[in-house]
Amino acid sequence: MITASPTSRLSSPVRDWRELWREAITDAGELLRTVGLGQHAERLPPGDAGFALRVPRGFAARMRHGDPRDPLLLQVLPQLAELDEAPGYATDAVGDLAAREARGVLHKYRGRALLIASGSCAVNCRYCFRRHFPYGAEIAAAGQWRQALDHVRRDATISELILSGGDPLSLATAKLEELARGLADIPHVTRLRIHTRLPVVLPERIDDAFAAWLAALPQQKVVVLHANHANEFDAAVDAACARLREAGATVLNQSVLLRGINDDADTLAALSERLFAAGVLPYYLHQLDRVQGAAHFEVDDDAALALMGALRERLPGYLVPKLVREVAGDAAKRPL
């Protein structure tokens, strides 16, 4: 289906995001052929190393053709290294399960509760800290969000609700409208924060209906994107970011420091500059969560701190993200 352009910033017709979702690449061999690297298929791990591949075609189109070190490709392509068992790496890297308080509700930090709104993502990132999360039983959106909202209603200390997942924008807008109706009688929730990678990997998701939903929310709204490299941005992503801001959201970005992808000062500085050009402020740069299958992405702390020093020397302070690590059981993210 083709719909009208959602804003004047997008002059060409925009395809329905659900169709684009369904057309995503789910086969690693096809992904390699799409980017001109079909000859690398014999290096793929069996069974996608136990974590399904999923890449929207628009995101694959931003990869450099014929480059096996492309920083977007390396975020999504299954690797044999994922099969290595690394000491200190766990299936529940950040203590999610211990923080569970109700169906799909994690409560780690004072004043904030996190809803596992959905178990689906438009893209599956190989370093994902929830790649082993048992989503089946823990979806807050199930049953009209009832259990999750009952929990939030009972706890008046919760002023900020974080929609996470999976990707909360994988839900139909009608499902998000259900949530907004449920929040109407919970006045202590004054802020809604949405953690999403969809505006970056499938920017068509920020369509008219979603923008209208976001704009109509009475709560303050914060959208935290997830981009790791400047090459993830193009005109459609810029337009999606603009729509989020026009709907009244503060738009931030969190990145993960990833070996071979963004672990040099030039790349991180370019990312911060590109984010700001799109109207987005860098928020966090996460040290890798030590989840099984992702050890080959880790950058050691000394190297990470040296990178931060280099960034501080070349960028204004508002473009330098905070380098943090999440430690299970801590009352806040731990600054490095």
Interface with ligand SF4 (CB under 6 A): 121, 123-125, 128, 130, 165-167, 197, 226
Instruction: Note whether 88 and 290 are within 8 A (CB).
Output: yes
Q: What is the CA radius of gyration of the chain?
A: 19
What is the Cα–Cα distance from 278 to 225, expressed in whole angstroms? Answer: 12
Q: How far apart are CA 51 and CA 213, in angstroms?
A: 32
| Spatial distance between the Cα atoms of 217 and 147, rounded to a whole number of angstroms | 21
CB of 287 to ligand SF4, least distance (A): 14
Our CB check for ligand SF4 shows the closer of 57 and 312 to be 57
Nearer to ligand SF4, 315 or 333 (CB): 333
Shortest distance, position 198 Cβ to ligand SF4, whole Å: 8
Q: Shortest approach of ligand SF4 to residue 144 CB, angstroms?
A: 23
DSSP state letter for 64: P
To ligand SF4, the closest distance from the beta carbon of 210 in angstroms equals 17
Min. distance of Cβ 124 from ligand SF4 in angstroms? 5
Quick one: residue 238, left, alpha or beta (phi over 0 = left, psi -120 to 50 = alpha)? alpha
Percent of residues in the chain assigned helix, strand, coil, to nearest 5: 40, 20, 45
Residue 222 three-state SS: strand
Residue placing its CB nearer to ligand SF4 in the complex, 78 or 165: 165
- Classified as helix, coil or strand, 174 is helix
Nearer to ligand SF4 among residue 10 and residue 296 (C-beta) = 296
Q: Smaller CB distance to ligand SF4: residue 132 or 245?
A: 132
Cα 39–Cα 41–Cα 44 angle in degrees, nearest 5? 150
Name the residue nearer to ligand SF4 (CB basis): 10 or 128.
128
Q: How far is the CB of 313 from ligand SF4 (least distance, A)?
A: 29
